[in-house]
């Protein structure tokens, strides 16, 4: 069991640039979640995939955000035209049929 992995671990970008993050869930997990965590706060739900289908998106996910999960394996989260308010930790979690979600280490985004 290699756990949930996320890449990159840290990303520094300039305002207006596009960034893409990747999440590799635990191999047999067909359910995948993205959360955003700002400094000193709890994670907030962004979006949910079951296999390759994106079944729910939070209103936090503006038009500049897009997520994909081709073939129901890894997932990517892209932010276009980054803003300073996008600076946060982006967490990925996966699960199979049980209630527990297994989290990755996160990608910390800093927008200058």
Partner 1 sequence: AQTVTQSQPEMSVQEAETVTLSCTYDTSESDYYLFWYKQPPSRQMILVIRQEAYKQQNATENRFSVNFQKAAKSFSLKISDSQLGDAAMYFCAYRSYNAGGTSYGKLTFGQGTILTVHP
Antiparallel, parallel or unpaired: β 53-57 and 65-68: unpaired
Task: Decide: helix, strand or coil at residue 47.
Answer: strand
State yes or no: residue 38 binds partner 1 (CB under 8 A): no
Out of 44, 68, 78, 83, point to the residue binding partner 1 (CB under 8 A): 44
What are the backbone dihedrals phi and psi of residue 99, each rounded to the nearest 5 degrees, phi first?
A: -80, -20
Question: Which pair of structure tokens corresponds to residue 14?
Answer: 């300039």
State yes or no: residue 104 binds partner 1 (CB under 8 A): yes
Out of 27, 42, 59, 84, point to the residue binding partner 1 (CB under 8 A): 42
Compare residues 74 and 102 and give the one whose CB is closer to partner 1: 102
State yes or no: residue 66 binds partner 1 (CB under 8 A): no
CB 4 within 8 A of CB 103: yes
Compare residues 46 and 81 and give the one whose CB is closer to partner 1: 46
Task: Decide: helix, strand or coil at residue 85.
Answer: helix
Q: Please tell me the distance from the alpha carbon of residue 55 to that of residue 49, in angstroms, as a whole number.
A: 6
State yes or no: residue 31 binds partner 1 (CB under 8 A): yes
Binding site for partner 1 (CB under 8 A): 3-4, 31, 33, 35, 40-45, 48, 50, 55-56, 91, 93, 95, 99-106
């Amino acid at each position: 069991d290699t756990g949930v992995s996320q890449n990159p671990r840290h990303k520094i970008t300039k305002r207006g640039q596009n960034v893409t993050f990747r999440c590799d869930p635990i191999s047999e997990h067909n359910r995948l979640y993205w959360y955003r965590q700002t400094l000193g706060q709890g994670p907030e739900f962004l979006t949910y995939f079951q296999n390759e289908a994106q079944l729910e998106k939070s209103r936090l996910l503006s038009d500049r955000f897009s997520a994909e999960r081709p073939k129901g394996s890894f997932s990517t989260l892209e932010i276009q035209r980054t803003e300073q308010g996008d600076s946060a930790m982006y967490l990925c979690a996966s699960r199979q049929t049980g209630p527990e979600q297994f989290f990755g280490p996160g990608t910390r985004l800093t927008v200058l």
